[in-house]
Amino acid sequence: MAPVDFPFEHAIVRFSCLQPKGAQVPHLVFASVEMLPRGRALPDETPLDDKGFPPSLSTKAGRLMFRRVALSAQAALDWYRRLNTLPDATGPHIGRALCHGPLADEPSWSDDIWPALVVPIPPSVFPGPAEDDRIDPFSGKNREAVRVHRRLSVGDPAVDALRDLAEEKKQKAFEWLRLRIWVDFTLYPEMLGSAVLIAPDPELRNLATRLDRDAAGVETIVAEPDWRVAPAKPLELVVREQRHGGLSLAKTFSLQGDDPVRIPRRSPVREIAWDVVHPDRGVIAAMPMTGFGRSTHSQSHVMGRKITIEGKDGRGKKAPSSSRVVQEVASVETVQVGTPLTPIGRLNEGAQLRRLRRAQASEFWLDDPTQARDVIHGILSKARNVITLVDPYADGLDLADYGAFSTGAKVRMLTAEQSTTGRAFVALPQGITALRELGRRVTVRRMPQNALHDRFLVVDRAVWSLGASLNGVGQQATMLVRLREARPVCKRLMQLWLKAAPIEGAK
């Protein structure tokens, strides 16, 4: 039965699956079901080849396949609920079984679908760390009014194998998928094995906001609706303004005809946010707090000489020779258009101080041994699952000292046991025994000397880069920095771990 107030006749399904080697049933990689507003033409379906197969890409995890098919809105909804067969309505694959891992947020609507849909909040013009957990590949850069429902995968080992491909092969597979299903899995890995339902608002296409200023300098917020069709009922536009960290306006306006909504303000407008609310469908569009661009500046580099530098890539006698081109900059010209708002009092100074404090939580300057151990203790003691100490110069004493900071997490060490001048070397088995007497679970492996130069602390999924060895950290100034993108480093460290030899008695 079709949901009430769901004015769609057709839908387009973009679908990708993975056929693992030796498996009979394909696995869901990703699917989007997009409802088409009335009047929009149906796109062509993806053609099949002479053998009846869609476009595909062979990977070590199996063969990736993609299909774009057109269905009636009701058939598309039914398929999205089940996800147990391929979506093909014609051809040789009708009714073929489809496998997927457990999916969260099962479709629960009956007659009214709108309460089950959400408005994906579009990203800010200058997104920050607070938006890292936002799932918004369907919010659209044009900020169209859309509602979505997501069935997020809990995990499917067959599909998750794509993430474990060699980096070059993985990027090739993800790029192939991105060009077809419009989702970049390098940015949204949580969408692997998932499905999404996309329902554009049948009346409002989008809402544009701008800032007007008269000769006296009075500013007015202007909101201009772009309708697909004239709304049957008036909509509500809820506008909020933020000034110096406080809410200075929250007001509701009627939105129905083609005339824009004008909101005069006595003081310069800092940031605004808005929501468009339908009396029956609820929130149908939104914009987070966003400032208006008042000025822009650009830099032009006037290029000077072009120099070719020749040298060797290393200091050994057999080091290969190479050449590189350096383009000198003769001068820099800066152009600014517009006038930025002048910061009030010391607000800008305070904001910069708070940003610096937040950065300090992931960057530490260590120039005292006691301070260095305190900082490392604070990091390692927060581990819940596993700590991995990676240091080519670490020995049994380092293992016992720093492994003892674990409050229950498993302790691993990857070392090359390279000796340090002027320091007594403690054998690793002694450190292993000391930790086990404390009740710690410990595993140690030895990698070849010169396999790695840097030092790392891996705490659960976080990776910290340490500029000095554990045996002397803090004696000379060094940095401890948390990596923002840890996955590639974790993968390389795991490769070193798997190739390293277990220390006898440390299994």
Secondary structure in 3-state letters for 321-380: EEEEEEEEEEEEEEEEEECCCCCCCCHHHHHHHHHHHHHHCCEEEECCHHHHHHHHHHHH
* Domains within the chain, CATH numbers bracketed: 10-200 (no CATH), 204-291 (2.60.40.10), 302-338 (no CATH), 360-502 (3.30.870.10)
Q: Who wins on pLDDT, 126 or 212?
A: 212
Instruction: Determine the pLDDT at residue 130.
Output: 41
Residue 289: CB atoms within 10 Å: 14
Query: Under a CB-based contact definition with an 8 Å cutoff, are residues 154 and 321 in contact?
Result: no
Angle at CA 258, nearest 5°, toward 252 and 260? 50
pLDDT in tens, 195-216: 999 999 989 998 999 989 888 8
Instruction: Determine the pLDDT at residue 29.
Output: 96
Give the C-alpha separation, 304 to 382, whole Å.
52
To the nearest whole number, what is the mean pLDDT of the chain?
A: 85
pLDDT confidence bin for 135, thresholds 50/70/90: very low
Give the C-alpha separation, 6 to 37, whole Å.
10
- For residue 376, CA distances in Å to 111, 370, 461, 470, 482 come to 56, 10, 16, 10, 12
**What is the percent of the chain where pLDDT is above 90?**
37
Query: Under a CB-based contact definition with an 8 Å cutoff, are residues 367 and 477 in contact?
Result: yes
pLDDT in tens, 351-390: 777 766 766 678 899 999 999 999 999 899 888 889 999 9
Give the C-alpha separation, 12 to 14, whole Å.
7
Instruction: Determine the pLDDT at residue 360.
Output: 64
Q: Who wins on pLDDT, 78 or 108?
A: 78
Instruction: Determine the pLDDT at residue 123.
Output: 57
Query: Under a CB-based contact definition with an 8 Å cutoff, are residues 441 and 415 in contact?
Result: no
Reference 192, options 180, 203, 183; nearest CA is: 183
Residue with tokens 């390098």: 186
Which of 35-39, 103-107, 371-375 is the most confident on average? Answer: 371-375
